[in-house]
Amino acid sequence: MDTPTPAALHEAVLGWYDDHARELPWRGVQASPWSVMVSEFMLQQTPVARVLPVHEAWLDRWPTPADLAADTTGEAVRMWGRLGYPRRALRLHAAAVAIVERHDGAVPSSYDDLLALPGVGDYTAAAIASFAFGRRHVVLDTNVRRVLARAVSGVELPAPAVTRTERDVATSLLPDDDATAATWAVATMELGALVCTARQPDCGACPIARMCAWRAAGFPAYDGPPRRGQAWAGTDRQCRGRLMALAREHDIVTTAQAEAAWPEAGQRERCLAGLVDDGLLTQITPGRWALPG
């Protein structure tokens, strides 16, 4: 198989995206930069189907960064619901406050300004600049990385963390003009989410199957560093989740309620202390906790 040219990959992937892109509220000309930003925080390690109703509820309640910044962090955590990793709600609230203070309430369009916001790293800054403002940036999420690893590098899965070589490959494939580069970013992401999935890639539906280095090599299995799965049952994450569910449902969480939610005392107390340290709960008095006010 000849090495595919960037132009050939662009034509195939962009054509496929034109026909198969999902209609999502944070995409298209109707989506505000704030909608895009909220979606990027929520979609971190969380499937689209779970994000959709929460994203809609957030935009209904807080249609601008200023609306969120004027509310409490506790309400942000409450509205985060069961998306998981609720510290993202605190970071999004802090980012909204910074947008009001530094940018007159408008989500900034430049990568550097976005990167300077609380809770925004390289991927999120590049994604917002690209998807909300049509800027030319390398956007490397899990799906994009998997597509490029297979199609170009001939391996089943990328390394656990982004490498310099991986970024160089992505940069070399980035279309020259801003608008096409922004569409390329979301198109490769969509291809990874819908077709070139981690466990069951649908090569028969893939627009670049005939150009795919991994397929041409006979689908060699991943042989890199071990990839750790995330346990759930009995973990601190599960315990924290149950305690946070109580806090969202009740104005005050008592010791008795916490004990009923998680009987193991040592783990429960450790998780309660951690939630207080993380700013997700406030201890009002001994044995009583609530969302931050």
- Name the residues annotated as catalytic: 40
**d(Cα 212, Cα 214) in Å, to the nearest integer?**
6
223 vs 102, 147, 164, 192, 220, CA distance in Å? 46, 17, 19, 20, 9
Q: Quick check: helix, strand or coil at residue 290? A: strand
Q: Which residues 6+ apart lie within 8 Å of 211 measured at CB?
A: 1, 4, 8, 9, 12, 151
Give the other-Cβ count within 10 Å of 81's Cβ: 17
262 vs 55, 138, 235, CA distance in Å? 29, 44, 11
168 vs 11, 30, 267, CA distance in Å? 21, 33, 44
